[in-house]
Amino acid sequence: MTTLSDTARVLKGTDFKNLGERKVGKVRDIYIQKDKIILVSTDRHSSFDRIIAHIPHKGQVLNQISAFWFEQTKDIVPNHVLDVADPNVLVARKCKALPIEMVVRGYITGVTDTSLWTHYQKGQRDFGGFVLPEGMKKNQKLEKPVLTPTTKSDEHDRPVTPEQIVSEGMLTQKLWDEVADKATKLFIRGQEIAEKAGLILVDTKYEFGVDDAGIVTLIDEIHTPDSSRYWQGGSYAERFAKGEDPEYFDKEFLRLWFKENCDPYNDAVLPDAPPEMVAELSRRYIQVYEQITNKKFALNVDNGIIERITKNLESYVCA
């Protein structure tokens, strides 16, 4: 159980001098070597295009959930994992990333401007790669998973149809067909395993690359609470029948607190997140890990996180 004292033990970032060129992402610090990359998952929590908090154990949860899912799906498509060198660290094969995010949806839901349900409410039925029937309700299961790919951009991802992806030269038809097939199979496998854990995998996103041999490879992360939407399965049918929202893994309460207490898009300095909210979000991340993997989350409390990572990455120090 996460306590308020755990907030003193967070991995805000790293600055290793001997692991290669460092690039800092929203959540991960990436060290680039000749033939591999080292992905360090920190406890940074990003929203409003900035870091709003640091959540104890979040990086470990994301890294270890990804490691679980990479192992569970490696028969469907090769992945970039070389070594889970530390609870917070993945060592990965270098791949050339494809310029498309493969978003897969199993339910019609969402409240954002880009969500399937928002577009459906406005009258859209033809989504390029698929057409939805009349009379659907929010949170309803789709007849089969659908793909809603987007471009990858540091500013704003753009929804694209399969036809646009090919006609604009982002992918060849053959490559699109392959990644579409792999993404759908990954999602179906994810739904099957999640169901056994009492969860519904609602939607997710995948990133693919090609390795030196030109083989399509799953990269980045897979089925984490940051890249995927999960609902509790046991109560879904009853709540849907009543028109109620499903029970879901919710990070929104922290985001809402910032919106109510400052202008998170424009204020130069943000207030500190309330410790009890930080602790609660940490608890929820751990709960999702334990439910998905059916394993007890191993809290690493004996050593400092930086010291532990340094020791575990000794064999990856650049000459």
The 10s digit of each residue's pLDDT in 279-299 is 999 999 999 999 999 999 998
Q: What tens digit of pLDDT does each residue of 155-192 get?
A: 667 899 999 999 999 999 999 999 999 999 999 999 99
Among 24, 31, 70, 15, smallest CA distance to 46 is for: 24
- Whole-structure pTM value: 0.93
Q: How many CA atoms lie within 13 A of 270 on its CB side?
A: 23
Any idea what the CATH number is for the domain that residue 173 is in?
3.30.470.20
Tell me, yes or no, whether 307 lies in a domain.
Answer: no
Tell me, yes or no, whether 257 lies in a domain.
Answer: no
Tell me, yes or no, whether 102 lies in a domain.
Answer: yes
Angle at 107 between CA 102 and CA 112, to 5 degrees: 75
Q: What tens digit of pLDDT does each residue of 63-114 get?
A: 999 999 999 999 999 999 999 999 999 999 999 999 999 999 999 999 888 8
Helix residue ranges per DSSP H, 99-226: 116-121, 162-167, 173-196
Helix residue ranges per DSSP H, the chain: 58-73, 116-121, 162-167, 173-196, 236-241, 252-261, 275-293, 305-312
Domain that holds residue 233: 96-241
How far apart are alpha carbons 197 and 199 in whole angstroms?
A: 6
* Both structure tokens of 75: 């028969």
Contacts of 272-277 with C-beta under 8 Å, sequence gap 24+, read 273/52, 273/53, 275/4, 275/7, 276/4, 277/253
Tell me, yes or no, whether 181 lies in a domain.
Answer: yes
Number of domains in the chain: 1
104-128 core/surface letters (b: 16 or more CB in 10 A; e: else): bbbbbbbeeeebbbebbeeeeeebe
Residue 273 has pLDDT above 90, yes or no: yes
How far apart are alpha carbons 295 and 289 in whole angstroms?
A: 8
Tell me, yes or no, whether 263 lies in a domain.
Answer: no
Tell me, yes or no, whether 311 lies in a domain.
Answer: no
- Residue 20 contacts residue 298 (beta carbons within 8 Å): no
How far apart are alpha carbons 204 and 270 in whole angstroms?
A: 30
Tell me, yes or no, whether 189 lies in a domain.
Answer: yes
Tell me, yes or no, whether 190 lies in a domain.
Answer: yes
Residue 261's identity, in one-letter code, is N
**pLDDT, mean of residues 117-127:** 96
**What is the radius of gyration, based on Cα positions, of the chain?**
20
Under DSSP, is residue 162 helix (H, G, I), strand (E, B) or coil? helix
281-313 core/surface letters (b: 16 or more CB in 10 A; e: else): bbbbbbbbbebbbeeebeeeeeeebeebbbebb
Q: Can you give the pLDDT at residue 80? A: 98
How far apart are alpha carbons 33 and 20 in whole angstroms?
A: 5
CA distances from 5 to 38, 265, 288, 296 (A): 29, 29, 21, 20
Mean pLDDT, the chain, whole residue set:
94
Residue 3 has pLDDT above 60, yes or no: no
Residue bearing tokens 């990965």: 92
Q: Can you give the pLDDT at residue 301? A: 64
Residue 95's identity, in one-letter code, is C
147 alpha carbon, distance to own chain's centre: 16
